[in-house]
Amino acid sequence: MDNLVIAGKAYSSRLLVGTGKYKDFNETREAVEASGAEIITVAIRRTNIGQNANEPNLLDALPPSKYTLLPNTAGCYTVDDAVRTLRLARELLDGHSLVKLEVLGDPKTLYPNVVETLKAAEILIKEDFQVMVYTSDDPIMAKQLEQMGCVAVMPLASLIGSGMGILNPWNLQIIIDNAKIPVLVDAGVGTASDATIAMELGCDGVLMNTAIAAAKNPVLMASAMRKAVEAGREAYLAGRMAKKLYSASPSSPTEGIIAKTEKTGKQ
């Protein structure tokens, strides 16, 4: 079985999905189901005080008994905010320690602040969190995060929510070649072919949210992404043919081609 193994646990799906930006929890649940994802990200936010006490809860739509929830630190710009958010997440999810760390550096681009990310990762790992870390596509940073003890490194393909696809496949290739832990593309995927390209490069998985949630038909796009990730993975494992400009080697036999006729047909 070709499983994705993260922190010792095997997953059959290599597509991880976010749960934000859907019109309601029903659509979220339908899209998650269509994606086949087993790991789904959630955000941690202040609850509404003194407002609708019977507000539906995300965890009722997507129960932790059915999915591996991956709490994130989206929106955190400092080490302290990120670390406190994940401590709250661990308490909220009954001691669950697998988390997605991201420390942002700029509200306009949502580009990660890798210096702060390193500091936060170090604290979290000391506190026995299993850290899947969002980072830039810098191979040295990816390696340092791995050496520090992160359980997966998740470089961006392009900026969060941009849908611009994989802008620097060469950097991703270097990160993949150097890594001994899973490498997942996180952020930037816009459509199915982007996910396939990531997997063909040798990524261990892809994490996405907006590409599905912002599609005109999110549930259908979730299904497309599931197939795209599977197709890319199989193509990677199969090993693609070498590229050449032209080959003079057609796929059909060069022998046994019927002969040219001397005469034209019956008149």
Partner 1 sequence: MIQLTINGQPQQFEAPINVAQLIDHLALHGKRIAIECNGEIVPRSRFSDQMLTHGDQLEVVVAVGGG
Q: What is the DSSP string of 126-160?
A: HTT-EEEEEE-S-HHHHHHHHHHT-SEEEE-SSST
Q: Which is nearer to partner 1, 6 or 160 (CB)?
A: 160
Residue closer to partner 1 by CB (options 9, 87) is 87
Residues forming contacts to partner 1 in the complex (CB under 8 A) are 18-22, 25, 28, 41-47, 49-50, 53, 57-59, 69, 71-72, 74, 84-85, 87-89, 91-93, 160-161, 207-210, 213
Cβ-based burial of 242 (10 A; exposed 0-12, middle 13-18, buried ≥19): exposed
Q: Give Cβ neighbours of residue 239 (< 8 Å, ≥ 6 apart).
A: none
CB of 240 to partner 1, least distance (A): 30
Query: Does residue 100 have an active-site annotation?
Result: yes
Distance CA 150, CA 143 (A): 10
* Alpha-carbon torsion angle 74, 75, 81, 83, nearest 10: 10
CB nearer to partner 1: pick between 34 and 89: 89
Min dist CB 235 to partner 1, Å, is 26
Q: Of residues 9, 21, 100, 244, which has the active-site annotation?
A: 100
CB of 31 to partner 1, least distance (A): 11
CB of 8 to partner 1, least distance (A): 24
Q: Which is nearer to partner 1, 139 or 155 (CB)?
A: 155
- Do 168 and 142 touch, CB atoms closer than 8 A? no
Nearest to 163 by CA among 238, 214, 107, 98: 214
3-state secondary structure of 183: strand
- List, in order, residues 6 or more apart from 35 with CB less than 8 Å away: 13, 15, 17, 212, 222, 223, 225, 226
Report CA-CA distances (Å) from 153 to 7, 83, 194. 12, 18, 18
Question: How near is the Cβ of 39 to partner 1 at its closest, in Å?
Answer: 12
- Nearer CB in complex with partner 1: 139/190: 190
If you ran DSSP here, which 8-state letter would residue 243 be given?
A: P
- Smallest gap from residue 127 Cβ to partner 1 (A): 11
Q: Do residues 65 and 92 lie in contact, with contact meaning Cβ atoms separated by under 8 Å?
A: no
Q: How many residues does the chain have?
A: 267
Phi then psi for residue 174, to 5 deg, are: -65, -45
CA distance 83 to 103: 10
Q: Give whichever of 139 and 163 is closer to partner 1, judged by the CB atom.
A: 163
Active site residue ranges: 100
